[in-house]
Amino acid sequence: MTRVYRAPGRVNLIGEHTDYNDGFVMPIAIDRATTATMTPRDDRRIVARSGRAAVTVSLDDVPARPGGSWIEYIRGVAVILERRGHRLGGADVEIESDVPTGAGLSSSAALEVSAGFGLLDLAGHAIDLTELARACQLAEHEFVGTRCGLMDQFIACHGRAGHALMLDTRTLEPEWLPIPSGVRVLVCNSMTRHAHATGGYNERRADCEAGVHVLAARRPEIRALRDVLLADLEAARADMPDRVYRRCRHVVTENARVLRAAGALASGDLEAVGALMVESHRSLRDDFEVTTPGIDALVDAALGCDGVYGARMTGGGFGGCAIALVDEPSAAAVAAGVQQRYRDVTGLRADIYPCTPSAGVSRIG
């Protein structure tokens, strides 16, 4: 019995670095995905293949220090699921993906979720998608070393065709927002990625936690930056390093932007959504400092084209992708224009394509 499982990558329309601060995000599952073709084995081994790379690991032999290769995404999910009481069997796993790796489109969540879903299904377990998302997030913390939030795994599990998901990451209450017809989200891949993305990500998270520590000393009911008003932050500004203050300012203002963007999207006010995207990008560039010159160039290039409502980096940052919200009839011209301008400024060729809001993980064969 061989089965095929598919989980999508994602873009995030707005709400960056808010998910590990109990805040709001607005991801969209995209029509690029990872498929895991899986055949059960009876020896509790996972024999995984991706391209020419093949790795075998045993579910009974978990190393104290994970090895840092792509297999840890699969092994990590399997180990966490077993720890949570889901006994699994071994499997041959063939991985194929058209989600570019290291581009900020969550290829890792697509891999974790497709493999985790498949392992649960092959073992005959009922699947709670939110529990699967949490297991995948923990796998990333423990086996990969990125202290990520839940956004990527959640949308890879729960994505819905035609919709963005406005998610409150504290309550996990979803609000599905239809993407209006006549508008497209263009993915613009800078084709650059900083080697220190994981370290930079964890440092940003630590800065946010340092800010909460200072703020909670003044107002003990503050548990996360989600609970902080700009006035709280301004009042505590002198008590924290300027860097920490600016990280916090990004998160506090970004949460407000997501809430406003959700209202604007629901009422079809694309100009307002676009303006909020641009504000978000500037905050990520100037306060959170996770953009790169290449990504800034892509965003500027998009904003210089007709038919663009807004543009911003998407995902964790440090390179990767920008997105642009564009009028559908202008999409091809915008793609060509951005490519040209980006090449003029950087000498690099950006990969640009429209994405279709898609469904979350499923068995497809």
Read out DSSP for 186-215? Answer: EEEEEEEE-TTHHHHHHHHHHHHHHHHHHH
* Closer residue to ligand GLA in complex, CB, 236/259: 259
The nearest distance, CB 241 to ligand GLA, in angstroms, is 22
Q: How far is CA 186 from the centre of its chain?
A: 16
The nearest distance, CB 19 to ligand GLA, in angstroms, is 5
Q: Report the amino acid identity of residue 28.
A: I
Partners of 174 in beta bridges? 167
Check residue 316 for interaction with ligand GLA (CB under 6 A).
yes
3 state SS of 147: coil
Check residue 113 for interaction with ligand GLA (CB under 6 A).
no
Q: Which two tokens stand for residue 307?
A: 């038919």
Q: Which of 7, 9, 20, 81 lies at the binding interface for ligand GLA (CB under 6 A)?
A: 20
Partners of 326 in beta bridges? 184, 308
* Closer residue to ligand GLA in complex, CB, 90/360: 360
* Closer residue to ligand GLA in complex, CB, 255/358: 255
The nearest distance, CB 105 to ligand GLA, in angstroms, is 9
Partners of 187 in beta bridges? 323, 353
- Give the binding range for ligand GLA (CB under 6 A) out of 17-25, 32-40, 43-51, 183-191: 17-25
Residues 26, 12: contact at Cβ < 8 Å?
Answer: yes
* Closer residue to ligand GLA in complex, CB, 12/339: 12
What is d(CA 144, CA 235) in angstroms, rounded to the nearest whole number? 37
Show the binding pattern over residues 272-311: x = contacts ligand GLA (CB under 6 A), - = does not: ----------------------------------------
* Closer residue to ligand GLA in complex, CB, 13/151: 151
3 state SS of 364: coil
The nearest distance, CB 149 to ligand GLA, in angstroms, is 3
Q: Is 64 exposed, middle or buried (0-12, 13-18, 19+ CB in 10 A)?
A: exposed
The nearest distance, CB 160 to ligand GLA, in angstroms, is 19
Check residue 19 for interaction with ligand GLA (CB under 6 A).
yes
Return the active site residues: 152
What is d(CA 261, CA 275) in angstroms, rounded to the nearest whole number? 9
Partners of 33 in beta bridges? 8
Residues 90-109 that bind ligand GLA (CB under 6 A): 106
* Closer residue to ligand GLA in complex, CB, 90/316: 316
The nearest distance, CB 10 to ligand GLA, in angstroms, is 8
What is d(CA 96, CA 114) in angstroms, rounded to the nearest whole number? 11
Q: Which of 7, 9, 13, 16 lies at the binding interface for ligand GLA (CB under 6 A)?
A: 16
- What is the number of alpha carbons within 13 Å of residue 342 lying toward its C-beta? 28
Residues 8, 145: contact at Cβ < 8 Å?
Answer: no
Q: Which two tokens stand for residue 235?
A: 């009042």
Show the binding pattern over residues 136-155: x = contacts ligand GLA (CB under 6 A), - = does not: ------------xx-xx---
Check residue 17 for interaction with ligand GLA (CB under 6 A).
yes
| Contacts to ligand GLA by CB under 6 A | 12, 16-17, 19-20, 106, 148-149, 151-152, 315-316
